[in-house]
Structure 1
Amino acid sequence: MTAQVQAKQTTYQAATNATEARALADQLMTAMSDLLGVIEQETELVRAGELREAMAFGPRKTELSRHYVAGVGRLKASQTFMQAQAPELLAALHRHHDAFRAMLKVNLTVLATAHSISEKIVRGVNAEVQRRNIPNTYTANGRRAAPTSRQLTPLTISRSL
């Protein structure tokens, strides 16, 4: 299994001249820009509560992520050449990637917030359902009766929107 993984990692062709290095940088910047555009749209939709519409970006994000990962693989394979022959191009890629990473962080924060809010809503609904299912009785000692497993009913939800 590790031989297959190693074989996959070395399948990226390194840039060997300035033209290939420039094409690689353009490909990677385009992939980051396209992916960033989709992520920004998704972030805005999630902020607006349009989760179903935001989920529609999944296949496009997957495709663009594949292009991005392929570009990063080629960049890693070309690292030595680019440091020696095109350091300004490598610096530009690093700057572009820093902006890309910052926007990803915003997107992940928005998604985590939406997840947290939806989880709190589901837990609140579950607590209310459970509270209504538990009989309001007291024991002989005057304490509230603890619910039995028969009285607690699980909340069933569908994860698909």
Structure 2
Amino acid sequence: MNQHPSRQPAPAAKTAPSTASTPAEARKLAEELMDVMSDLLGIIERETELVRAGKIREAMAFEPQKAETSRRYVTAVTRVKASHQYLAKAAPDLLATLRRHHDTFRALLQVNLTVLATAHAVSESIVRGVNAEIQRRNIPNTYGASGRRVNPTARHLTPLAVSRSL
């Protein structure tokens, strides 16, 4: 009799990534990684163009495709790392080509991250500016008995609400 009927068996351990052991497997692994990087770069470049054009909603539509391609990229990189020793011995030129391609990939990814960071900073600046203007208009412009301007209290501040669904 099972003492803990609600317990489920532990999930099976993840299998180790397959490693390349022949030149053909090494080439296939390298091609797979380069294809995934190219696919991901294509998505990222379209996203970057849309964000630069201010079309954030359209850029967000790429998120599911980008997530799936990123998952494939991580899987391919894991397989290459597992095969690193073999690649270094049997195909050092292929490994060098992968490194160059990956360096280019990282540089283009950095451009995308810069564009996204800029868009974030601009939108944050706009929201802060709108909030400051709202607060300025809501604060009474009065003077105290000493003839100096009275500093507003918390009751004079109005919170800003932003709807992300629009």
Aligned counterpart in structure 2 of residue 43 of structure 1, from 18, 39, 48: 48
- 2:163 matched to 1:158? yes
What 5-or-longer segments of structure 1 have no aligned partner? none
TM-score by length of 2: 0.90
| Structural RMSD (CA) | 1.4
Offset from partner CA, 1:14-53 (integer Å, 9 cap, x none): 1111111111001000000000000000000000000000
- 2:68 matched to 1:63? yes
Report the equivalent of 1:135: 140
How far residue 149 of structure 1 moved from its aligned partner, in angstroms, is: 1.3
What 5-or-longer segments of structure 2 have no aligned partner? 1-9
Report the equivalent of 1:17: 22
TM-score by length of 1: 0.92
Greater Rg, structure 1 or structure 2? 2
How far residue 85 of structure 1 moved from its aligned partner, in angstroms, is: 0.4
Q: Call closer, same or farther: CA 1:99–1:160 in 2, change over 3 Å.
A: farther
Aligned counterpart in structure 2 of residue 104 of structure 1, from 103, 106, 109: 109
How far residue 159 of structure 1 moved from its aligned partner, in angstroms, is: 3.2
Identity %: 66
Matched residue type, 1:117: V
List, as ranges, runs of 4+ consecutive aligned residues in structure 1 with deviation greater than 4 Å: none
Report the equivalent of 1:118: 123
Report the equivalent of 1:29: 34
CA distance in 1, matches of 2:94, 2:121: 40
